[in-house]
Each structure stands twice: as structure tokens, then as C-alpha cells.
A and B are shown apart, each in its own frame.
Chain A
């Protein structure tokens, strides 16, 4: 229980005053010489049952009355917080999920999950922790912000709405890091989140250390303020793969358009005619789309471009619903860039195989180029134009210029694939982002096949119609293992990871391929479908960052350089958190070199699945936490003052005591001679 005046609880032992007075009274009895013992003995015999209970109850009522008075004076608070909290903490860490899904609103109150959580936490902390240091860490920036005035918590820029995704383990890790670097004393950590599966990233490697840190820190208490309910009939639009194509009649845009439809029951059988507004370079057109079932997916949806619209930006708008943050999708387009692949290798067989695959066009309107460079000539790499870099050479030293260039390549959002260099069978070597090559394994006599590969995302993801890639046909004769913090993509029967993505903080993707597309290493080249698709998916990942029209996910580092929003509404002016809100942006270069960027929320934000209690238990195993499930617009308070209830309890106790003290009704007896 939490109290606004906990100091007054020092007086709680006073509740025992009636008992003490009773005992003292018993102890300081006087002694009298008495003759009428016969009446005393009779009375004693008769006063054993009900009367004793009555006296006990009277004493209990008095104790209760005093205790209730002290509790009332201490101004107790009730609510979800009540059971776990027990006094003011020195530091309150508010970890706020600012993801787009937290903008789901209760249309009656206009409150979003984020604003509701902030309002309730703010109200609670104003009541209970006015002397605590309050630090806000938001999921968008992961930067700690000290809150000096709790009334302003909701209006802080760091607590404003964003269209970002959230990385809850990273958010918690930021909180744990803050505790480690600051003398925070007793700390309450409040996590406000809607428990989206994709935000909580259950597979993240951070959870283990977070659990260990929180479980070992006895001065930390964890509270989850959760808003897992789904908005009824919410629609979310997203657009990907926007390509400008030349047609005989001019230009057109081809895009993959997805509209997701959610409802609490999960049943969306009825078809829905939806007016969808397309805005291209400021010109609006309205089209009607029919959404049947849970999802509307149109691959290659085309929109005609008018004269003079060869490059530009666009927006797709859905009608307003419970979540305004997922009703818009921005896109930008320009002439498709050349998809250039650079292969750094001395192995001609490998290089020519990759070059053949990489330069084979997938999209006829796009140019594909592949070039092989010897590791000794790495200075010739055209870094600015390269979308995919395939590196079959020793990993350069950590401090070398080559390593710095590789890191920069990834920072720009390009793709880097490391192939095993043909060096000695040694596990010694340099590391990139903590990952390095280990030893070769020769499986020529018993070729290995893939036992598992990641089908839901990544290079070996199923095709758009759900067909899995023929990875199972592949055979591996020589593989080289690698170590580090990796996200496996393909494993062999003996659990050897052959292809993996390295977990980095960069925008680009770094892959380790533990075999070569040579006939003596694998059947990647001969069973070429999987290899071809992997190569082009890697290339497509890096190509976006080469283009002058880039579509990116929102994030604090999404926009590089000085960018301005192409279309700014009045309400946004001056309050735009760069990179955190969706929109179309341009830099201030001349028109020919002008970079266009469309920022959208990550598509994972449209996935409505939430964690269940078991999953939370599993993630926070060993950590003591209290979960408070709230609903937007519920009107309930995390902490309501309940001193009135205690006063009522005191009054009732006194009333009961008075009733118990009433003398019994005299029994009607025949009249006796007056004494």
C-alpha cells in the first residue's frame, strides 16, 4: 500500500493502545477483602462464553478504530499500484513505448494508449513520488530525460506520438544501463506498452542479461502498465516496393499495397468497400478498394503518373479510425538506380557465379551490374554506388581503413556478404562487429543438407504466394563455421549455421555465408534458384539506400543530413521530431541530386498480435514485477485516495464497539421485594 503521508504510519503501533491499556488495567488490579465470594464464583462461571467473546470484540473494534484513524491520516492510495508499491522510491524510471501502435485511441475520449499511460503515471507519481527523481526513457530515442515537472510529462517532446516501432528489450536495457551508471537508489521502473509481439522481440538476446540484471538488483521494482486491447475494425495501410516504370503512354508507379484489417473477434468475413485517397505530388485522387477478410494485398498495384511527375512523393490515406497513425503510407519515387554488386575475391569461379546471378535482371526496367575486384585492389571499390558488396577475403583488422569503410558501407544501409576466404584452417582472424570466421568442415564424403531455414523473413523467406524456396535440395560439401552474435538463417542437420545475419545497429545488413557457390563446396550454383533469390534479395536490401528516392522506416537516425518535410501541416510545424514521424522529405540539394525520403512506421506495427501472460512470465522469469492491465478511457486511476474508506471503517468500528458495550436488556422477572 502506498501513502501520501507515510511518516504518520510511525504512529501505527498506537493502534495497540487499547490492548496495552487493557493489559495495564489488568496488571494494576487492586486487592480487596471480600465476603460475597459465592456471587463472584457464580458470575465467573456464567461469564465464560459469549461475554468473553464480546469483550474481545470490543477490544478488537477499538484497535481497528485507532488503526483506521492512523491509516486515514496517512492518506492511503488504492489502485493497481497498491499491492506492489510500498513507499516512495528514490528514482522512477518511466520506459515509454512510443511505437505507432500506442496511438490507438478511444474515440469517445480522444485518448490514445500512450497519452492515457502518461496521464495515469503522471497522476500517480504526482501523488506518490513528488520527491523522487523521475527519468523518462522513450522507445524512439532510448535517451534518458529527467522530468522536473511531472505535470509536464505528457507534453514533453520525448513523450510525443511517433510512428516508430519499439524495441522493448533495448528500452529495458537502456533503463538497466541508466541504473548502472547512476546512483539511482531505490528505483521503480514503469513500462507502459501495448505488449505487441514485434515490439517485445522475444527472440532478442538482450532478455537474458536484462533478466539477470533486474533479478539481482533488489532495489528495483518493475511495474508493467499494459494496454493490450485491440481497436475494433482498425485499418492499416502500408506500401512497399514502389518502382517507377516506363510504359508506352508515359510513366506509371508499381507498388505493393497492403491494407490490414483487425477486429477484436478476429472475424472479418464481410467485404468492405473502402475509399482510399492517393496523393501524388500534392494531387489527390480517390479510389474505391474492396477489402475482404483480414488483409488486402495488391502486389504491383499501378498508378498512372501525369506529365511532369517523373519523380516525386506520394501518400495513401485511409478513412479515420481508432488508430490515426496507421492510416497513412508515404512513398517517394525516382528513376530506379543501377543495382551494382561488387565482388571482392580472388576466386574466379566463385566471383563469376555470383556476378552472373547478380547481373541477371529481375526487373526489366532496372539496370543490374556486377564487378569483380581483387582484395588487393579494394581501393577501387565505388562505395557510393555499391548496393551489395560481397567480400571473399580475410576480414580486415579492426583499426584498418578497410574495416572502417566496410562499417560505413553498412551505416549507409547497404548490404555486405562475407564469404569464407580460402585461407588456412584456422580459427584465428579478425572480427567484424564481433563476428569472425572459425574452422572449415569437410563434408565431401557425407554431404550435408539443410535441416532448417527461416521462412518468415530474411533471405530465405517464402515467396509472396507462400511457396517455400527449394532450400532442402541444396547439398553442402565444405562449410566454414563462424561465431558471434548472429541471427541464424540456415542450419544443417548437425545444427551448424551456414547462413546468418549479424545483429548490428547499422541500417544495412551484414551476412555470413559459410560456404561458396562452387561445385566442390555446395550445390548453390547448380541448384541455383535459392542462390539467385538470396543474391537478389541482398541486392534489393542495399539498393534502396543507393537510390535517390528512399523508403525508410521511421527512427531517430532515419534522416541523415538536413532534410525538410515536403508537406507540413500547421499542427506539425515546429514540433516535428526528425525521423520519428512519417512523411515525405527532401534535402536542399539541387533538383538533379535532390534526395527524396519517405518515412513510414515499420510494417511490424500493423501486426496486432500481443504477448500473453505466459510469454511475459517467460521473458521476465526470475524478475519480480507487477502487471497492471489498463484500458484507454477507462477513467480508473492508478492511485485513488481512499482515506474516506478508512474513516468509514473507523466509524463502523466505533459503532460496533458502542453496540457491544450496550448493557444487556434486563430480563423480565417477577417483582421482588425492594432492597
Chain B
């Protein structure tokens, strides 16, 4: 991670830390203090010993606050609650590591649409408060918010997107590529409910659009097959987009405990544990 201060995150830049990175032949101009004299003694050649540079993290959350994020079992947690849990926990962890944390939500009606990334517990409180009070309504503005984030965030940052992605997937491809173009490290938490995928209803149901569209009365037994086909096609498109965009994609079912999801994510971020985590 490319940070302004020394921290706990590996940086693409080699620096001073305890983590050995590689040997490199000496070229004129290199700091002679970094020559590995033991190697010179064995081989009679000059090598530099390079170490991973640890730096701080600029973490920015983009939380989808469209109406569809209000989806959830009656009396249970909504998709937005799940997103809050993920974002809040990660923000807390990052702040404790000394990382800067920022937040963007997609709701055009939100009073505080964007919180720039900063460090410190005071900022964390502000951010958590904002996460706690944000509400989901209206249609999704995620695409425009991603484009805006790509433009606004000046340095390489870890951008964590939490959304249900319930819109036509094609514009998402461009938005994610925009982020990648700006060298951001992108993590996408795709929140879905099993009911939305399996569509297990046993009698006619009136479906009320959480994003304010017209309601729809349907006999699930009549449309179940076509619905599942549509879901399958959609997920296929999402898979293709995330593969092309080379981002860290996590499809999360709402019935999964979020700590497991986070553990899987964090283990995946550690190079030493990434292989086993994935």
C-alpha cells in the first residue's frame, strides 16, 4: 500500500522493514550501506538486500444506499445493516492500525455524502456515526459514485464497495475499470440473499419494489424457471466483469455471519495466507 506514513501495510515501494523482499545487483548510485557483505564474501559480487517497505493504508468505503439495500427478512437484519457491519468493522480495524478511513454513500439525498479518509479515533467516531445513520432509499447511484470516487481520491487507496449490484451489470464494468485505471485496489462485497437467487415461493405473491417502482403480482410457480435463468445470466455477467477487472470480489449471502466473511477477506489480503484462505 502506498501510504504517506510508515505503517503496517506493505507498499509497492521497497523500504526498510523486517520483511526481506529480494537481492538485487548493485548499480552505481545505490546506497553502499545496503550492500550485503556476506554475499560479497561468498561470491565476490555486490548485491543489495532489499526489504518490503511498510506503509499506512488509505481505505475508502463506497456503500450502496439504494432502496434495494433495505431488503431483509422481516424483523431481521437488512442488507444495509449487513453492509454497516462490514464497513464499520473494517473501519475500526483500519483505524486501529493507523490507517486513514473514508466513506462515500450513493444516496443523493444524504446530508453527508462523502467523508474524506483520515486517521484517528475522532474521525472513526464521525465515520461510524455516519455509517449508523445512513439510510437506503431511491434508485441506485452506485455507478456514478464509483466514477466520482475514482476522480476524487488522489492517491492509490483500497476502495471497498458494498452493494447488491441489482442493476444492469454492463455499466459496472466501466466504473470498475475506471477505479483500476487510477491504480486503486478494489474490493467488492456483493450482498445477496439466498431467497433472491432460489426464488422459493409457494403461492402467488405481490412484490413491492424497494426502489419505488410499480409492484408486481406474480405466480412464482409460473415464472420460477425463467427467474432463475435470469439470475444465472446476471451472475455470469458479474463474474465476467470482476474477472476482467481483476478485483477482489466477494459474493456474500446475507445468512453468512459477517465475521466469517471478514475473516475470509482479511486472510485473503495477507500474501502468506491468501492461498489457503481462497
Q: Which residues of A contact B (CB under 8 A)?
A: 25-26, 28-44, 46-47, 51-52, 55, 663-664, 669, 672-673, 675
Are B231 and A39 touching (Cβ within 8 A)? yes
- The residues of A that contact B71 with a CB separation of less than 8 Å are 33-35
Asked whether A39 and B222 contact (CB < 8 A) given A25-B204, A30-B205, A34-B207, the answer is: no
Are A44 and B216 touching (Cβ within 8 A)? yes
A42 and B228 alpha carbons, distance in the complex (Å): 10
Contact of B210 with A by CB under 8 A: yes
Closest Cβ–Cβ distance, residue B37 to chain A (whole Å): 51
Closest Cβ–Cβ distance, residue A201 to chain B (whole Å): 68
**Contacting residue for A30 out of B203, B224, B239, CB 8 A:** B203
**Contacting residue for A675 out of B79, B197, B203, CB 8 A:** B197
Closest Cβ–Cβ distance, residue B122 to chain A (whole Å): 35
Per-position 1/0 for B50-80, Cβ under 8 A of A: 0000000000000000011111000000010
Are B230 and A35 touching (Cβ within 8 A)? no
Are B222 and A52 touching (Cβ within 8 A)? yes
Are A32 and B203 touching (Cβ within 8 A)? no
Asked whether A43 and B207 contact (CB < 8 A) given A38-B166, A38-B168, the answer is: no
A41 and B225 alpha carbons, distance in the complex (Å): 13
Closest Cβ–Cβ distance, residue A433 to chain B (whole Å): 82
Are A28 and B209 touching (Cβ within 8 A)? no
Asked whether A25 and B166 contact (CB < 8 A) given A34-B210, A43-B230, A44-B218, the answer is: no
Are A32 and B207 touching (Cβ within 8 A)? yes
Closest Cβ–Cβ distance, residue B94 to chain A (whole Å): 29
Contact of B25 with A by CB under 8 A: no
- By size class, the interface of chain B is 35 or more
A39 and B205 alpha carbons, distance in the complex (Å): 15
Are B230 and A39 touching (Cβ within 8 A)? yes
Closest Cβ–Cβ distance, residue A663 to chain B (whole Å): 7
- The residues of A that contact B210 with a CB separation of less than 8 Å are 33-35, 37
A52 and B236 alpha carbons, distance in the complex (Å): 28
Asked whether A37 and B239 contact (CB < 8 A) given A28-B203, A29-B204, A32-B205, the answer is: no
Are A47 and B207 touching (Cβ within 8 A)? no
Are A39 and B227 touching (Cβ within 8 A)? yes
Q: Which residues of B contact A (CB under 8 A)?
A: 67-71, 79, 164, 166-168, 196-197, 199, 203-211, 213, 215-219, 222-227, 229-232, 234-236, 239, 251
Q: Name the 9 nearest CB pairs between A and B, nearest first.
A: A35-B68, A43-B226, A35-B71, A29-B204, A34-B207, A43-B227, A43-B223, A42-B230, A39-B230
A44 and B224 alpha carbons, distance in the complex (Å): 10
A43 and B219 alpha carbons, distance in the complex (Å): 11
Are B209 and A34 touching (Cβ within 8 A)? yes
Are A672 and B235 touching (Cβ within 8 A)? yes
- The residues of B that contact A52 with a CB separation of less than 8 Å are 222
The chain B residue with its CB closest to the CB of A663 is B225
A38 and B231 alpha carbons, distance in the complex (Å): 9
- The residues of B that contact A36 with a CB separation of less than 8 Å are 68, 166, 196, 231
Are B217 and A47 touching (Cβ within 8 A)? no
**Contacting residue for B206 out of A29, A42, A673, CB 8 A:** A29
A38 and B139 alpha carbons, distance in the complex (Å): 12
**Contacting residue for A47 out of B203, B213, B222, B231, CB 8 A:** B222
**Contacting residue for A31 out of B168, B206, B222, CB 8 A:** B206
A51 and B227 alpha carbons, distance in the complex (Å): 13
The chain A residue with its CB closest to the CB of B203 is A25
- A–B complex contacts, Cβ < 8 Å, 6 sampled: A32-B208, A34-B71, A40-B216, A40-B223, A44-B218, A673-B239
Closest Cβ–Cβ distance, residue A501 to chain B (whole Å): 82
The chain B residue with its CB closest to the CB of A29 is B204
A36 and B196 alpha carbons, distance in the complex (Å): 7
Closest Cβ–Cβ distance, residue B250 to chain A (whole Å): 12
- The residues of A that contact B79 with a CB separation of less than 8 Å are 35
- The residues of B that contact A34 with a CB separation of less than 8 Å are 71, 207-210
Are A31 and B227 touching (Cβ within 8 A)? no
- The residues of A that contact B207 with a CB separation of less than 8 Å are 31-34, 37, 40
Asked whether A31 and B208 contact (CB < 8 A) given A25-B203, A38-B166, A672-B235, the answer is: yes
- The residues of B that contact A55 with a CB separation of less than 8 Å are 219, 222
Known: A33-B70, A34-B71, A46-B226. 14 other contacts (CB 8 A): A30-B203, A31-B207, A34-B207, A35-B67, A35-B68, A35-B69, A35-B210, A36-B68, A36-B166, A37-B210, A38-B166, A42-B226, A52-B222, A675-B197
A36 and B215 alpha carbons, distance in the complex (Å): 12
Asked whether A31 and B235 contact (CB < 8 A) given A39-B230, A42-B230, the answer is: no
A663 and B210 alpha carbons, distance in the complex (Å): 30
Asked whether A40 and B227 contact (CB < 8 A) given A34-B208, A672-B235, the answer is: yes
**Contacting residue for B205 out of A31, A43, A47, A669, CB 8 A:** A31
Closest Cβ–Cβ distance, residue A43 to chain B (whole Å): 4
A26 and B218 alpha carbons, distance in the complex (Å): 9
The chain A residue with its CB closest to the CB of B198 is A675
The chain A residue with its CB closest to the CB of B226 is A43
The chain B residue with its CB closest to the CB of A51 is B222
A47 and B229 alpha carbons, distance in the complex (Å): 12
A52 and B231 alpha carbons, distance in the complex (Å): 21
Closest Cβ–Cβ distance, residue A664 to chain B (whole Å): 6
Are B209 and A37 touching (Cβ within 8 A)? yes
A675 and B253 alpha carbons, distance in the complex (Å): 9
- The residues of B that contact A46 with a CB separation of less than 8 Å are 226, 229-230
Asked whether A35 and B203 contact (CB < 8 A) given A43-B226, A43-B227, the answer is: no
Are B208 and A33 touching (Cβ within 8 A)? yes
Are B216 and A41 touching (Cβ within 8 A)? yes
Are A40 and B239 touching (Cβ within 8 A)? no
A34 and B217 alpha carbons, distance in the complex (Å): 12
The chain B residue with its CB closest to the CB of A672 is B236
A324 and B250 alpha carbons, distance in the complex (Å): 101
- The residues of B that contact A672 with a CB separation of less than 8 Å are 232, 235-236, 239
A672 and B238 alpha carbons, distance in the complex (Å): 11
The chain B residue with its CB closest to the CB of A30 is B205
The chain B residue with its CB closest to the CB of A28 is B203
- The residues of B that contact A25 with a CB separation of less than 8 Å are 203-204, 219
Closest Cβ–Cβ distance, residue A150 to chain B (whole Å): 54
Asked whether A47 and B226 contact (CB < 8 A) given A29-B204, A30-B205, A37-B211, the answer is: yes
Asked whether A26 and B219 contact (CB < 8 A) given A38-B167, A42-B230, the answer is: yes
- The residues of A that contact B70 with a CB separation of less than 8 Å are 33, 35
- The residues of B that contact A44 with a CB separation of less than 8 Å are 216, 218, 223, 226
Closest Cβ–Cβ distance, residue B209 to chain A (whole Å): 5
- The residues of B that contact A40 with a CB separation of less than 8 Å are 207, 216, 218, 223, 227
Closest Cβ–Cβ distance, residue A246 to chain B (whole Å): 105
- The residues of A that contact B196 with a CB separation of less than 8 Å are 35-36, 39
A673 and B234 alpha carbons, distance in the complex (Å): 12
- The residues of A that contact B213 with a CB separation of less than 8 Å are 37
